[in-house]
């Protein structure tokens, strides 16, 4: 039962706001392009656009910095070797 609430399939309480972990899970799912229909419906009913926009921008910046860091690491190894 607890796992269903964490994953976000439980839509029984439509008046409750989404938690940060639920918003984060939805945004990560959207990065991969995979999401359950029940979760999408929950997001539209209970979520706020500003939360999704904020987390989306945050994850995009983290992704770009991670790619930049990997490139810097590879370049430093390539120059030394």
Domain region containing 44: 2-80
Report pLDDT for 23.
Answer: 97
Residue 26: CB atoms within 10 A of its CB come to: 22
Instruction: Give pLDDT, residue 81.
Output: 67
User: Would you state the structure tokens that stand for residue 36, as one six-digit string?
Assistant: 């359950």
Residue with tokens 């359950």, as numbered in its chain:
36
Q: Taking the model in full, what pTM does it have?
A: 0.74
Instruction: Output the CA torsion sign for 24, 46, 1, 37.
Output: negative
Q: Is the dihedral of CA 73, 75, 80, 81 positive or negative?
A: positive
The pLDDT score that the predictor gives to residue 10 is: 55
Encode pLDDT of 2-60 as tens digits.
Answer: 445 555 555 556 679 999 999 999 999 999 999 999 999 999 999 999 999 999 999 99
Q: What is the pLDDT of residue 9?
A: 56
Number of domains in the chain: 1
- Nearest Cα to Cα of residue 42 among 1, 2, 4, 81: 4
């Amino acid at each position: 039962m607890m796992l269903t609430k964490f994953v976000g399939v439980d839509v029984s309480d439509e008046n409750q706001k989404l938690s940060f972990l639920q918003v984060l899970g939805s945004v990560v799912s959207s990065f991969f392009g995979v999401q359950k229909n029940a979760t999408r419906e929950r997001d539209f009913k209970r979520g706020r656009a500003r939360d999704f926009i904020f987390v989306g921008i945050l994850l995009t910046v983290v992704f770009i910095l991670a790619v930049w860091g990997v490139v810097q690491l590879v370049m430093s190894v390539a120059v030394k070797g």
